[in-house]
Amino acid sequence: RKERAAQIAGVAGKALALRTRFPNSTHIEGARRMELQMLQNAVGLGHTASKDRLRAVEEELLKDPATSENDRVRLLAARVQMEAMAHESEGEPAMTAILEKGARDLMREYPTNAMPFQMLMSVLTRSEGDAARKLAAELKENPNTPDRVRQSASGHLKRIEAVGKPLALKFT
């Protein structure tokens, strides 16, 4: 795993070298995206030496006015997911809490973007009991929730409310 992470970091380094050596190339944007993806993969595999470079590329993209809102949110969501994965040893509840906090932060900053709502839906699928009920109801009632997420949340809410209730069966 460490060897693979180092190889991936090497590919990111080559993308950076291309960007540095040919700053006016028509392929500069593709090289930047490749570098970002490779750095994310390397850090995700445990290559801690790539963390600072990853943050620098992320900040570069976030400051770039040409970066679309969807790309910004995708980038920030990936940060949240990587942070959650870094707490894997603490267990599922710790990871879920980080995902939920990150999703809510993104919702405040980007209230009409679908990604934070999808992240909360992911948290909902990992939740149980009253926490799941509250989150499902929140997603169902929020006017900014995308239709697909609202439908999924409604289905979850129905399943949660059906637990412990008798089935109405009719035989003919």
Alpha helices for the chain (secondary structure H): 2-21, 28-44, 51-63, 69-86, 92-109, 114-126, 129-141, 147-162
User: Which whole number is the average pLDDT over 149-172?
Assistant: 86
Q: How many residues does the chain have?
A: 172
- The answer to whether residues 51 and 37 touch, using CB atoms and an 8 Å cutoff, is no
CB of 62 closer than 8 Å to CB of 21: no
- Report yes or no: 40 and 82 within 8 Å, Cβ to Cβ: yes
List pLDDT tens digits, range 72-104: 999 999 999 989 988 889 999 999 999 999 999
For 21-49, write each residue's pLDDT tens digit: 998 889 888 888 899 989 998 988 888 88
110 pLDDT more than 90: yes
Answer yes or no: are the C-beta atoms of 61 and 36 closer than 8 Å: yes
Amino acid at 90: E
- pLDDT 10s digits, 133-154: 999 999 999 999 999 999 999 9
d(CA 101, CA 166) in angstroms, rounded, equals: 36
Q: What is the pTM of this model?
A: 0.80
User: Residue 105 above 90 pLDDT?
Assistant: yes
pLDDT at position 56 = 92
What is the C-alpha R_g of the chain? 20
